[in-house]
Amino acid sequence: MSPAGLSEAEATARALLITLEIIEANNPDQFGDAFAAAVARGANGVATFASPFFNYDRKRLIELASRYRLPSIWEATAYVRDGGLLSYGPSFADMYRRSAGYVAKLLNGVKTSDLPVEQPAKFELGVNLNIATALGLAISATQLARADEVIE
């Protein structure tokens, strides 16, 4: 996790009057201990930073969140399809489609240094109602209406 990302998370937590507990795990063998430590410290939910490290082991992380009955929010809708509660992040399908424009420009001779850096343009909200029900959580009609994907 970058220092800037951590700083932003801490500032947002303070603004929302949320206590942020950072639990580190440097390899998948530490995930179980990390969840146990989080619960021991009074955690009542899980949010992870976007990471290929976490994405690779997402099913294990989702299983641990379920085992410890922790509501969870993740970076992509794949996590919701695999049993996570919520996801919010950039649409990878949209980013892949937009990358085709970059390829076309390169094939037409544009120098890579002349291509602009672009931020994601589309973000997706995913909700797994089965998990919400299992955790005894109600998802508002407004949130469901805003969701791009709802698992029932």
Q: What residue type is 149 in one-letter code?
A: E
Q: Which domains does the chain have, with CATH numbers?
A: 3-89+123-151 (3.40.50.2300)
- Helix intervals (H) in 46-122: 52-56, 58-67, 77-81, 92-107
pLDDT tens sequence across 69-111: 999 999 999 999 999 999 999 998 999 999 999 899 999 999 9
pLDDT tens sequence across 47-69: 988 888 888 999 999 999 999 99
Q: In terms of Cα–Cα distance, which of 78, 37, 30, 35 is closest to 55?
A: 78
